[in-house]
Structure formats: structure tokens, C-alpha cells
Amino acid sequence: MIRKLGILVILASLLVAAVPVGDAAAQEEMGAVREAPAVRPAANVPFLFSAFALTWIVLWVYLVHVHRGQRRLEKMLGALGEENRVG
Amino acid sequence: MKERGGFVDSLLLALLGVVMLLNLYLIFYHAPVERTMGLVQKIFYFHVPSAWIAFLAFFVVFVGSAGYLITGREGYDRTAHSSAGIGVLFCSLVLLTGPLWAKPVWGIWWTWDPRLTSTLVLWFLYVGYLLLRSYLPEGPRRATLSAILGIVGFLDVPIVYLSIRWWRNQHPSPVVGGGSGSGLDPRMKAVFFFSLFAFTLLYVVLLRLRTRHARSEEAARSVLEERKRTL
């Protein structure tokens, strides 16, 4: 599991390195954000939805992964204890 | 003792469920929509708490690592390891939700500014911590080396936190405790602090779950080793 994560980390770092550095024009845009006109409240909802969905999916996957691992270990410990008693 | 722990876990889980639902309600129905950014600004209510939890988790790694180096007790090492995993999880969420907020507001997914870069470095440091633990055989050497990395890695946390005060950059200045000219609408502030509380509760639940899992793993390993010896 962790080794696979290691490979993912390497791939992610390559992907991040491929992202171009923000140019001066982009930096200027940031400076203008505070003075930007009011936007429609419904605009950019897909970004909000993606961020929320991603957060909950990541948290649920982690919870299920840890919970399943815990159940598997408890079952294994129970079986080993039973074997020791019989043996 | 185990029964009491189970009761506490159930109570915490029930409380967490209620608090998280209330948090979602407050974010979407109580907090006002920000004037310039619109609805996408609501990412703030879990992007910043995720960063706070990552910092808290790495602080626990720091304390656990120092505790292990001073006392040599395995419990500290176990807590540090459990907390590092949760810290990486929340740091990943910060790095995923940040670009989703940045793209509509800044027009770019990513830029190498001090806050973003130091956060990425923090993530790499603790992923390195987890990889180190997975590659080294279990024992005092692994615990000692991990503790050293856990302490050294924490040095990046104040750099991440203070980067927006030390250097002028793309990332916005702090809106809470940022001095004159900064601040939040009172309703936004209330929802933000409630979100911080909800995420802290989530961290406590996850840490309890993860440390119990680590204890079970150790118990299983010791039982298997004993069997090997007797066979």
C-alpha cells in the first residue's frame, strides 16, 4: 500500500513540476481581484462542488480503509486466540 | 476498559455526525455569500480547517517524536505515526481544494509562491516520514529515525504559517488575526470557528481510530512472532 503510494508521490511530483510557473500577467490578475466587480453567486459552482465532493470522498475512503483493516485484524487476532486455546 | 473506550468512540462518532451536518448547514445556509468571489468562497470553510488540522497533526507528530526520543516509550512513536498519516491526509486535502479555489479566483491552478511551495514541501516531508517507516524494519532504529524526521519536518510548519506575513505573494493575507484592514463578516467568522471545531473533532475521532488500529497491528505481530517461536 505504502509502496504504491510512493510511486503515486513520484508521479504527482512529476505532474506538479510540469505545471508552468504563474507569469507576471497572472500575478497582476491577482492584484486586481479585490477590485473586481461582483460575480453572479451561482458562477463557479462546479469548483465548489468538486472541492466538497473530493473532501468527503477522500475522508470516507480513509475511514473505510482504516475500519476494514481494523476488522480484519480483530478477526485475525480472534482466530489466533482460538487456535492457541485449542492447541 | 475496552467497553468504556467503545462507548466513548460511539459517543464521539454520534457527536461528530451531528456537528458535521450542522457545519454543512451553517456553511451553505447561514454564512453569507462573499461579494467578489461568490459561492466558490465557501471552499474557505473546509480548506482552512484542513490546513489547521494538518498543522495540529504535525504538532502531535513533533510532540510524540520528542516524547519517544526522551522516554523511549513505544506509545509515543505509535501516536506520532498515527497522527502523521492523518496530517498527510489533511495536507493532501489542502493541496487539492486550494487549486480548485485558485482557478476561478486567480485564473491559475498553481503558482510557486512561498505559501503554496512551503505547503507542498511540508506534504513531501511527511510522505517521506511514512515511506521511511514502511521501508525500515520494525524496531527502535525505525522509531528513532522517524522521530528525528518528525521533529525536523515540523520546522516547516511555522514557515508555512508565517510565509504570508514574511513575503508578499499570490496567497491572500490572513483574514483572522491579520491586523488592521483584515477581517471577516461576523456570521462568516462564527461559521469559520464552528468549522474549525468540527474538523478538530474529526481529527480526534480519526486519531483514536488510527491509534487503536496501530495497537491491534502490534498485537497481531507479537502473537504471530510467538507462534513462530513455539513452532
pLDDT tens across A8-36, in order?
655 665 565 555 444 444 444 444 444 44
Q: Is A42 exposed, middle or buried (0-12, 13-18, 19+ CB in 10 A)?
A: exposed
pTM of the predicted protein model: 0.82
Residue the block writes with cell 500500500 = A1
Nearest Cα residue to A4 out of A74, A75, A65: A65
Nearest Cα residue to B83 out of B136, B1, B154: B154
Backbone angles phi and psi of A65, in degrees to 5: -60, -50
Q: Which residues contact B217 (CB under 8 A, 6 or more apart)?
A: A73
B223 interfacial to chain A (CB closer than 8 Å)? yes
Bridge partners (DSSP) listed for residue B34: B38
Residues B13 and B23: their CA atoms lie apart, in Å, by 15
Residue from the list A22, A45, A67 with its beta carbon closest to the beta carbon of B108: A22
Nearest Cα residue to B50 out of B99, B109, B100, B92: B92
Residue A76 has pLDDT above 60, yes or no: yes
Question: Mean pLDDT across the stretch A37-47?
Answer: 69
Number of C-beta neighbours around residue A22 at 10 A: 21
Q: Which residue of A has its CA nearest to B221?
A: A77
Q: Which residue of B has its CA nearest to A67?
A: B209
Nearest Cα residue to B44 out of B105, B110, B111, B86: B105
Using the beta-carbon criterion (under 8 Å), do A80 and B100 form an inter-chain contact?
no
Residues A26 and B59: their CA atoms lie apart, in Å, by 35
Which residues from chain B sit within 8 angstroms of residue A59, using beta carbons? 89, 93, 202
Which residues from chain A sit within 8 angstroms of residue B112, using beta carbons? 21-22
Q: Which residue of A has its CA nearest to B28?
A: A48
Pull the grid cell for residue B156.
516547516
| Tens digit of each residue's pLDDT, chain B (231 residues) | 555 667 888 889 899 999 999 999 999 999 888 888 888 899 999 999 999 999 999 999 999 999 999 999 999 999 999 999 999 999 999 999 999 999 888 888 988 888 999 999 999 999 999 999 999 988 899 999 999 999 999 999 999 988 888 777 767 766 666 666 667 788 899 999 999 999 999 999 999 999 988 888 888 888 878 777 777
Give the start-to-end residue ranges of the domains of chain B: 19-32+41-223
Residue from the list B46, B100, B213 with its beta carbon closest to the beta carbon of A70: B213
18-47 in chain B: CB under 8 A from chain A: 33, 35-40, 42-43, 46-47
Question: Mean pLDDT across the stretch A46-61?
Answer: 92
146-205 in chain B: CB under 8 A from chain A: 170, 202
